């Protein structure tokens, strides 16, 4: 007996059963520790997300030094994560550090500027030249035989222009990369007596689909026709590439825009219309929302359409957000005057020169900011809670606290 006790004091294993009991005890203690740590982490995570869900950010910090750049007297628009500034004398592309990436010079009385993913198109209203710049500033110039009335560009860089040809108003599609001397790849003719006057038009990101809102007259009444054209393989076998037309008697449709390659929306006074085709070939009218209030503004982006109305009860405004299926996903009521509304990464960003409101997809306020300087442009960056901010005298990257 004394020998077994001695062996035990020396740490020898007396039996397999004793070893298993000790191992089981250690495992239980380790499991308890792990469960405790995981529980604490879960509690911390739940608490953090609960805090973040209720948190409204009020301040911001500059994460890059503000670079001096004078944009007074110029119009400013976003170009991806960069900024375009332009006036009657020329155009500039500014990078995230406030440095000029490239500059283009011209003389225009009323420059129209539109941006795609990698190209910028510029034309003087009723001028006869179109300037197209790529990301590096390389210029492609297109001379038109007739005055340019309106200008659009697809995300892929195809340029669309309506030209005043007297009795006919023609919409040309140009490919800046084409080997053709005049860069023309298609043309749509219209007359007031025929299809109507092209009031608005838009191209899908790929450039395959093209939509036109025509203003017409029927028995002395103003009406609209929305026409969809297909410039892909499917449309090559269709006369004039025309797939479908929709007529709206007594209505004017001044806006039509593609949200992606297979969905477009149009706005008239009394209705919001969504057109789509999952195959991206032949859009059909899928949903119409009749509107009894006067539309104040329309914005779009991130696969959504945003209609802004006056809200007389709250003494401010109401922004109704629709997804590509024509479903009202959220309504946001706010009392701040706005200069722009941006939809990006599931956020509704409302701002003016001195203030900013940010809401999430369910209409919950996530930020309420007072700017320290007069802001001309606010561009969401790829990183969360980061923005490129342009003022009259500088550009900087900011992060919400």
Give 318's contacts (C-beta < 8 A, 6+ positions apart). Answer: 308, 309, 310, 311, 331, 332, 333, 334
181 found inside a domain: no
Is the pLDDT confidence value at 37 over 70?
A: no
**CA count, 13 A, side-chain hemisphere, 382:** 4
Q: What is the pLDDT of residue 39?
A: 65
Question: In this predicted structure, what is the pLDDT of residue 314?
Answer: 76
| Within a domain: 297 | no
Q: Which of 20-29, 89-98, 296-305, 376-385 tops mean pLDDT? A: 296-305
- Asked whether residue 245 carries a pLDDT value surpassing 90, the answer given is yes
Q: Is the dihedral of CA 76, 78, 79, 81 positive or negative?
A: positive
Three-class DSSP category at 40 = helix
Domain count of the chain? 1
User: Domain of 18?
Assistant: 2-49
Cα 269 to Cα 211, 218, 264, 303, distances in angstroms: 19, 18, 17, 22
pLDDT(3) > 50: no
Is 202 domain-assigned? Answer: no
Instruction: Inform me whether the pLDDT recorded for 187 exceeds 90.
Output: yes
Q: Is the pLDDT of residue 50 over 60?
A: no
Q: Could you tell me which of 321, 293, 294, 317 has the C-alpha nearest to residue 307?
A: 321
Q: Is residue 22, in this structure, part of any structural domain at all? A: yes
**pLDDT confidence of residue 20:** 66
The secondary structure of 88-152 as a DSSP string is: TTEEEEE-TTS-EEEEEE---SSEEEEE-SSEEEEEETT-SEEEEEETT--EEEEE-SS-EEEEE
**Residue 8 falls inside a structural domain:** yes
What is the value of pTM for the model shown?
Answer: 0.84
The answer to whether position 77 is within a domain reads no
30 part of a folded domain: yes
- % of the chain residues with pLDDT over 90: 73
pLDDT of amino acid 281: 94
Give pLDDT tens digits for 310-348. Answer: 998 878 999 999 999 999 999 999 999 999 999 999 999
Report the C-alpha gap between 317 and 296 in whole angstroms.
9
Return the minimum-mean-pLDDT range out of 22-31, 161-170, 334-343.
22-31
Residue 104 clears pLDDT 60, i.e. is over it: yes
- Position 353 pLDDT exceeds 90: yes
> How many of the other CB atoms lie within 10 Å of CB of 88?
13
Is residue 18 a part of any domain in this protein? Answer: yes
């Amino acid at each position: 007996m004394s020998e077994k006790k001695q062996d035990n004091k020396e740490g020898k294993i007396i039996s397999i059963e004793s070893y298993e009991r000790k191992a089981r005890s250690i495992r239980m203690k380790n499991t308890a520790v792990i469960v405790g740590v995981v529980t604490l982490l879960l509690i911390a995570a739940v608490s953090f997300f609960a805090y973040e869900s209720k948190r409204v950010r009020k301040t911001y910090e500059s994460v890059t030094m503000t670079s001096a750049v004078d944009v007074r007297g110029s119009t400013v628009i976003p170009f991806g994560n960069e900024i375009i500034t332009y006036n009657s004398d020329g155009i500039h592309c500014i990078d995230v550090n406030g440095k000029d990436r490239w500059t283009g010079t011209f003389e225009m009385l009323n420059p129209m500027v539109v941006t795609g993913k990698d190209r910028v198109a510029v034309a003087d209203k009723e001028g006869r030249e179109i300037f197209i710049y790529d990301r590096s500033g390389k210029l492609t110039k297109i001379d038109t035989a007739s005055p340019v009335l309106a200008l659009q560009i697809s995300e892929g860089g195809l340029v669309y222009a309506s030209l005043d040809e007297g009795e006919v108003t023609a919409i040309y599609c140009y490919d800046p990369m084409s080997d053709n001397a005049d860069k023309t790849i298609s043309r749509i003719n219209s007359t007031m007596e025929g299809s109507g006057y092209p009031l608005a038009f838009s191209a899908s990101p790929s450039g395959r689909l093209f939509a036109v809102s025509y203003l017409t007259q029927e028995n002395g009444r103003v009406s609209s026709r929305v026409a969809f054209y297909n410039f892909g393989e499917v449309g090559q076998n269709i006369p004039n590439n025309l797939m479908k037309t929709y007529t709206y008697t007594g209505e004017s449709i001044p806006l039509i825009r593609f949200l992606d390659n297979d969905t477009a929306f149009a706005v008239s006074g009394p209705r919001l219309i969504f057109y789509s085709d999952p195959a991206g070939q032949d859009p059909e009218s899928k949903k119409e929302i009749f509107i009894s209030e006067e539309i104040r503004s329309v914005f779009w982006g991130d696969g959504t359409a945003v209609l802004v109305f006056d809200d007389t009860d709250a003494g401010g405004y109401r922004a109704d957000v629709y997804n590509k299926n024509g479903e009202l996903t959220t309504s946001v009521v706010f009392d701040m005057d706005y200069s722009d509304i941006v939809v990006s990464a599931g956020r509704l960003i409302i701002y003016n020169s001195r203030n900013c409101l940010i809401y999430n997809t369910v209409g919950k306020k996530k930020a309420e900011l007072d700017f320290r300087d007069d802001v001309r442009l606010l561009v969401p960056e790829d990183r969360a809670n980061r923005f490129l901010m342009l003022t009259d005298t500088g550009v900087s990257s900011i992060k919400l606290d």
